[in-house]
Amino acid sequence: MAKALDYPQMLRDAALRVTRPRVAVLGAVHALPHADTDSILGAVREELPEVSHQAVYDSLHALTGAGLVRRIQPTGSVARYESRVGDNHHHVVCRSCGVIADVDCAVGEAPCLTASDDHGFTIDEAEVIYWGLCPDCSTTAHSS
Amino acid sequence: MAKALDYPQMLRDAALRVTRPRVAVLGAVHALPHADTDSILGAVREELPEVSHQAVYDSLHALTGAGLVRRIQPTGSVARYESRVGDNHHHVVCRSCGVIADVDCAVGEAPCLTASDDHGFTIDEAEVIYWGLCPDCSTTAHSS
DNA sequence: GCGAAATCTTGACTCATTCCAGAAAGCGGG
DNA sequence: CCCGCTTTCTGGAATGAGTCAAGATTTCGC
């Protein structure tokens, strides 16, 4: 967290054009971990009131394709994006309120990357989602 | 596969009413592993041409709630259902064609259920999705 | 067979995401 | 610094999975 992130440079390094919307989207994803598209759109519009939702969707796709952000979408949820990429971490999702938290890989490296029987598939990534209740919801117990 | 599945009885055991649509839906999910809602709807209509999509959605929800079928939804895909439940297995999804295959849990029991740091969450299930290319797609290599 | 309660039919509706066409902006060359 | 080509953005309509609601049916216990 010590170094200030240079979003424009990150875009350049990824061979993407540096546009205002993209810089704002990249910043929003870094500022709002696990935010859904709508939240990102709102955050982006705080500095660029004129952006169209289409620009955000497009930027998100471009950034995802370039590996600058990661797209996650737990069952029953809309698409969410996060900025932690390439560090093999997973997520815990609360069944009740839907919050998402990061979890570093249980075994350290990339253990889950080894399936018992890969059926001939060429596996390049293992995605793990833990389901349960967050502290708040498990305390509140049965919220009506 | 030796024993004929008694769908009506399965419904009864789950404390669900036995209705024609539900039996058909349950049968369809067993017959078409990893099928999306639309495929299931089509399969169900082969024996019950009159069913509404609403009935299928409702049945699917009821069956999911009762634990008779499991709902899975890889990022970027529509909801899919499968009949293998309670045996802690995971999935491999082809990035190219989207096919899904079952994989038994790599470590045997429920290893992935242990996150390194659960952030206070009460975890009750770990869902693992392996991403890669299926045999066909990895052979075809770069399909335009 | 009867009646209460859950389930199904029909059809409208929401909402995330995508598609399109034209306008605007970014980038490399002069 | 300006030009032109190409990519990206704007604005708005379209798509499609999934949900909501009201009334007609069906299931199940008796």
Nearest chain A residue to B71 by CA distance is A75
The count of other CB atoms within 10 Å of the CB of residue A87 is 8
Output the pLDDT for position A81: 97
Output the pLDDT for position B144: 41
More confident residue, A34 or B90: A34
Max Cα–Cα distance, chain A, nearest Å: 51
- Does position B25 have pLDDT exceeding 80, yes or no? yes
- Does position B112 have pLDDT exceeding 60, yes or no? no
Output the pLDDT for position B141: 57
Provide the token pair at B135.
């045999």
Give the CA distances from residue A97 to residues A55, B76, B118, in Å, rounded to whole numbers and listed in that order.
29, 22, 16
Rg (CA), chain A: 17
User: Mean pLDDT for chain B?
Assistant: 86
Lowest mean pLDDT across A3-17, A23-37, A58-72, A93-107 = A93-107
Q: Report the 3 state secondary structure along chain B.
A: CCCCCCHHHHHHHCCCCCCHHHHHHHHHHHHCCCEEHHHHHHHHHHHCCCCCHHHHHHHHHHHHHHCCCEEECCCCCCCEEECCCCCCEEEEEECCCCCEEEEECCCCCCHHHCCCCCCCCEEEEEEEEEEEECHHHHHHCCCC
**Residue of least CA–C1' distance to D25:** B19
* Confidence label for B124 from pLDDT (cuts 50, 70 and 90): confident
Burial class (CB in 10 A: 0-12, 13-18, 19+), B81: buried
* Confidence label for A109 from pLDDT (cuts 50, 70 and 90): very low
* Confidence label for A2 from pLDDT (cuts 50, 70 and 90): very low
- Does position B72 have pLDDT exceeding 90, yes or no? yes
For chain B, how far is it from start to end, CA to CA, in angstroms?
A: 39
| B53 CA, C11 C1': Å apart | 12
B96 touches strand D (CB under 7 A): no
Tell me which nucleotides of strand D come within 7 A of a protein CB. Answer: 7-12, 17-21, 26-28
Lowest mean pLDDT across A5-19, A46-60, A99-113 = A99-113
* Confidence label for A13 from pLDDT (cuts 50, 70 and 90): very high
CA distance B67 to chain A (A): 15
Rg (CA), chain B: 17
Three-state DSSP state, A92? strand
Output the pLDDT for position B107: 53
- CA gap B106, B110 in Å, rounded: 9
Output the pLDDT for position B103: 86
More confident residue, B50 or A88: B50
Lowest mean pLDDT across A30-34, A35-39, A64-68, B102-106 = B102-106
More confident residue, B119 or A79: A79
- CB proximity A139 to B under 8 Å: no
Cβ-Cβ contacts under 8 Å, A105 against chain B: 116
Q: Is the Cβ–Cβ distance between A45 and A38 less than 8 Å?
A: no
Output the pLDDT for position B143: 43
Q: Of B40, B72, B82, which is closest to residue B58 (Cα–Cα)?
A: B40
Give the pLDDT mean for B78-107.
85
Cβ-Cβ contacts under 8 Å, B130 against chain A: 112-113, 115, 118, 121, 123, 125-127
The tens digit of pLDDT for each residue in A59-105 reads: 999 999 999 999 999 998 999 999 988 777 889 999 988 999 998 76
B22 touches strand C (CB under 7 A): yes
pTM for the model: 0.86
CA distance B127 to chain A (A): 5
